[in-house]
Structure 1
Amino acid sequence: MTTFPIHRSILLLDIENSTSRSNPIKEQLRRHLYQMLDEGLAFAGVDEKHREQYEDRGDGVIALIHPVDEIPKCHLISRLIPSLNQALLDYNLSLPPEEWLRQGMRLRVVVHAGEIHRDDRGRGFFGEALDVACRLLDARRFKRSLAASSDPLALVVSEDLYWNTVHHEYDGLRPCDFTRDIRVTVGGRTHHGWLKIPTPVLDSSIA
């Protein structure tokens, strides 16, 4: 290989049912998504110097966070996710009820971490850790779990992140809030994801 692996925390977000919306609505949702992500990462202590440039997925985003001592991975779960959750709730409640189906936004979010590679011609990143995160994000069971919920966000953390971070209850995380509910196969290996559907608080000062 011509590149060496680099470690990144991997954050993937995807807007539910984006393909069923008109292009103007998609543009609006994307604008709100990036604003929510910027604000949520700032609340978690992550600014532009701590991350790679966002990779756009059309109806979602890939954010790769540098391994910085003052920004532990648990903050992506314990701080970013509540901020995103509350921002989604506030946005949806700002819409007239008759516009919820057309303009409302709900997200699937995956948090993972691992070794990835930067393309030596500057065309982005690749590697098994990214493949695992993308498979978790697109898992049918994950999509069904959000569809069956009335909450605005569903979260899956990877097996490694669960046992290394959630399991130890860092920054107030509660293992009992997660269920080992998602399973995907990448490169002949089975990978599990731990699912949480956080319930937002109406009157919050999170973000």
Structure 2
Amino acid sequence: MTVKYEYYTILVVDIEGFGRRRNPVQSWLRERLRRILEAAFETSGVDHRAGPPPVDRGDGVFWLLPGTVPKEDVTGPFVDQLRQQLRAHARTSSAEGALRLRLSLHGGEVGADDQGWVGADLNTACRIVDHQPLRDALAASEGAELVVAVSDEWHRKVISHDHPGIDATEYRPVRFDAKEIENETVWIRVPGHPAPVLAPESAPDNAPGAHGGSGAAHDGRRAAAATPPTPFIQHNSGIGQLYGDIHDGGIGQVQGTVHQTFGAPAAPDGAGNAELRHELDELRALLKDALARRDIDAGTYQDASRELDTAEEYADAEDEESRGVLVRALVKLGALVTGIGVIAEPVRNLINTLRGE
């Protein structure tokens, strides 16, 4: 038969330490995994029924989602909700029933023949979830529920664009070699934990990526991830043209007129910020009420409180970058309280206000 290929978002999940469990526990974990994934799809608003049914992999599963499903929804809200579902499982599970996951996200052409699904991109997604640095990052992150790895293409098209609720600084690049794949890059994140510290041999080389990007562009992305940004010098004004590259202590040439002032900036009038802080205080009070009513558990409350702390930290900021951090914190907060209308609705309204919608 002639195989017809279509573009899909490819999601592959594996259970850590599955083979060490007794047979009845393995069967129970497989059932729990399916329920947890479906709940995460439902609560994050990702339409997992729009594509074919999931495919069992023994110690995991892969899911094909149509290209119409927004990748940023899979990367952000779905992963956030998956972590919350795993946290809920951990609170009632024994050590033998522990469920920690490796998740890979990729996209590409997949077809179906008489034996099932086939395609090089599907192979790549399955290779990623089995990649040793992914296993190492999860093993080294005590208390983590899952580790996420995305392909270089996914990182370029989704992560690097700073969508709300997606923080590119949480991902670390590692070299990816697996059977027919050589000297590519995948990006690893451990949700809710510091960016993973990876072995030096895991660092990608300076070779161009295998997804069609130029070597210079690929090298630039790696440099951006590996090198912290130099401090931003505020309060500049004027028009000029810069020749060369200026870093801390560096020298460059500027043609034109540029003015710079030093010292603390004048305090803003603060009216808008005071209103924002008032709304954040209201959200914190609603969170406490929800905890008292047991609408949320203590773990969710702590996670939501941390996002509120971040929002409050940046509430007085006026620059675009800080406002982005503020909005991302609120988006993560909204994902944590999905389904609790008394909190979720004011969070959505506040996000829309900050975005000017």
Give the TM-score normalised by the residue count of structure 1: 0.89
Change in 2 beyond 3 A, CA 1:41/1:140: same
Equivalent position to 1:128, from 120, 133, 138: 120
User: Deviations along 1:59-91, whole A, 9 cap, x unmatched?
Assistant: 1000000112xx311111101111111111111
Aligned residues: 199
Equivalent position to 2:72, from 61, 71, 74: 74
CA distance in 2, matches of 1:182, 1:205: 36
CA distance in 1, matches of 2:87, 2:138: 15
CA distance in 2, matches of 1:147, 1:187: 26
Percent same amino acid among aligned pairs?
27
Q: Is the 8 A contact 1:8 1:113 kept in 2?
A: yes
The alpha-carbon deviation at position 126 of structure 1 amounts to 1.0
Query: Does 2:145 correspond to 1:152?
Result: yes
Q: Which of 193-202 and 74-83 deviates more?
A: 193-202
Which residue identity is paired with 1:202? Answer: T
Query: Does 2:104 correspond to 1:106?
Result: no
Q: Is the 8 A contact 2:8 2:110 kept in 1?
A: yes
Q: Is the 8 A contact 1:75 1:171 kept in 2?
A: no
DSSP-derived class of the 1:104 partner: coil
CA distance in 2, matches of 1:79, 1:9: 15
Q: Is the 8 A contact 1:132 1:191 kept in 2?
A: no
What is the match of residue 205 of structure 1? Answer: 337
Instruction: List structure 1 segments (4+ residues) > 4 angstroms apart after TM superposition.
Output: none
CA distance in 2, matches of 1:105, 1:188: 29
Change in 2 beyond 3 A, CA 1:41/1:182: farther
User: Deviations along 1:85-140, whole A, 9 cap, x unmatched?
Assistant: 11111111123xxx22x111100000110111211x2x321111011111111111
Listed as ranges, the gaps of 5+ residues in structure 1 are none
DSSP-derived class of the 1:136 partner: helix
Equivalent position to 2:177, from 184, 189, 192: 184
The alpha-carbon deviation at position 30 of structure 1 amounts to 1.1
Greater RCO, 1 or 2 (C-alpha within 8 Å, sep 6+)? 1
Which residue identity is paired with 2:174? Answer: D
The alpha-carbon deviation at position 206 of structure 1 amounts to 4.6
Which residue identity is paired with 1:205? Answer: V
What is the match of residue 23 of structure 2? Answer: 23
* RMSD (Å), alpha carbons: 1.8
User: Deviations along 1:153-199, whole A, 9 cap, x unmatched?
Assistant: 00001100001001001232111010002412453543311000001
Listed as ranges, the gaps of 5+ residues in structure 2 are 194-298, 302-335, 340-357
Q: Is the 8 A contact 2:46 2:78 kept in 1?
A: no
CA distance in 2, matches of 1:167, 1:36: 28
Which residue identity is paired with 1:163? Answer: R
Query: Does 2:77 correspond to 1:84?
Result: no
CA distance in 2, matches of 1:43, 1:160: 27
Q: Is the 8 A contact 2:175 2:183 kept in 1?
A: no
Q: Is the 8 A contact 1:14 1:61 kept in 2?
A: yes
